[in-house]
Amino acid sequence: MTLPSVAISLGAFGADHVRGQGQASFIPLLVNVGVTRIELREELFSPSVDDQDLPALARAIAAHGLECLYSAPLELWLEGDSQPNPGLIPTLERATACGAFWLKVSLGHFGEHCDVAALADRLAPFDVHLLVENDQTEQGGRIEPFVRFFAQITALQMPIGMTFDIGNWRWQEQSARDAAQQLGRYVEYLHCKAITRNGAGKLIAVPPAPADLQAWEQLIQHMPVNLPRAVEYPLQGDDLLQVTREQVALLARLGQSQPTHSNPKETEALSHV
C-alpha cells in the first residue's frame, strides 16, 4: 500500500532556531525521516537572505529529491481592494526561484467586490500551483468566505486548491467538521496540528493526542484519498530525528484505516478541532 506524502512545515522546529540555522540546514533531517516535501516559510528567512540565495536553495532541495512548497504570510485580497494583492506577483517570483511547485497564501478579505478573473491573469505566467489556506484571522479563518471563493473558482475552472489547516479553525470558533464537509472536495494539502490553551489562556499548537488523531480520521473522510499532509506543530526532544520520524509515521497512517462510526470521545474531539 502506498502511503500519502508527508511534509514538514519548517516552523515546527521553532521559528528562532530555523532563522538561526537557515532553512536549508534542515534538508538532511527531512530526508532521513522519509519526508517527501519541504515547506519553506517566507517569514523564517533571515534578513541576510536575498534573491541570489534562492536558486541555491532550490538546487539543494532538488539534489535531495524533495518536493518544495513555498508558504508566504500574504493575504490574497487586501481590505477594500477588488484586485488581487500586489504582493502576489513578487511572491510567485520568489516561489519560482526556490523551485517550488506550490505557493500557499491566506485568503484575506475576499468578498463580492473581488475580481477573481484578475487573479487568473496574475497566475497565468507562472507554473506554481496556488493553494489558499484558512488562517487565524476573522477575515481568513471562517468557513463561509471559502465556500463563496471556491464556488467562483470552480465556475471559472481555475486550478486553485485549498490548504485545510485543522487547528486554525479554532481561532474563529469554527467547526472543523463543518469546514471539512463543505470544503473537503477542494482540499489538496492538509496542515495538521492539535490546539490547546496554555497557562495564560492563549491558543497554541501541540502534537496530537490519540483523540485528536481519531477526530482527524473523521475529517479526512471528506477529502481526497491519500491527501498530502504536513506536520505544523512543535517537534522537540533530545533525539529530534526520532521524534520527527515518529510524527511523520503518525501522519502517513492518517486516513488509511476503514471509516468507522464515531464514538462519544471522537465526537467530543471533533467539536474541539
Express each pLDDT in 187-225 by its tens digit. 999 999 999 999 999 999 999 999 999 999 999 999 999
- Identify the pLDDT of residue 172: 98
Residue 233, domain CATH: 3.20.20.150
Percent of the chain with pLDDT over 90: 89
- Identify the pLDDT of residue 48: 73
Report pLDDT digits (tens) over 3-24: 789 999 999 999 999 999 999 9
* 1: in domain: no
Residue 185 identity (one-letter amino acid): R
Helix 143-155 crosses helix 176-183 at what angle (to 10 degrees)? 10
- Identify the pLDDT of residue 46: 81
Q: What is the mean pLDDT of the chain?
A: 92
- Identify the pLDDT of residue 256: 85
Evaluate whether 221 touches 254 at the Cβ level (below 8 Å): no
Instruction: Report d(CA 78, CA 243) in Å as an integer.
Output: 39
* 14: in domain: yes
DSSP per-residue letters across the chain: -PPPPEEEEGGGG-HHHHHHH-GGGGHHHHHHTT--EEEEEGGGS-TT--TTHHHHHHHHHHHTT-EEEEEEEEEEE-TT-SSPPTTHHHHHHHHHHTT-SEEEEEEES--TT--HHHHHHHHTT--PEEEEE--SSTTTS-HHHHHHHHHHHHHTT---EEEEETGGGGGGT--HHHHHHHHGGGEEEEEE-EEEE-TTS-EEEEPPPHHHHHHHHHHHTTS-TT--EEE-S---SSSHHHHHHHHHHHHHHTT-SPP----HHHHHHHTT-
Report pLDDT digits (tens) over 89-146: 999 999 999 999 999 999 999 999 999 999 999 999 999 999 999 999 999 999 999 9
Domain with 80, as residue range(s), is 6-270
* 103: in domain: yes
- Identify the pLDDT of residue 246: 96
Instruction: Report d(CA 148, CA 71) in Å as an integer.
Output: 23
* Residue 226 pLDDT greater than 60, yes or no: yes
How many domains would you assign to the chain? 1
* 160: in domain: yes
* 28: in domain: yes
User: Whose CA is closest to 133, among 193, 68, 75, 207?
Assistant: 75
Q: Could you count the other beta carbons within 10 Å of the beta carbon of residue 175?
A: 16
Report pLDDT digits (tens) over 172-192: 999 999 999 999 999 999 999
Q: pLDDT-based confidence at 1, cuts 50/70/90?
A: low
- Identify the pLDDT of residue 186: 98
Evaluate whether 176 touches 169 at the Cβ level (below 8 Å): yes
* 107: in domain: yes
And the C-alpha cell for 211?
A: 483523540
Q: Kindly report the pTM of this predicted structure.
A: 0.92
- Identify the pLDDT of residue 267: 41
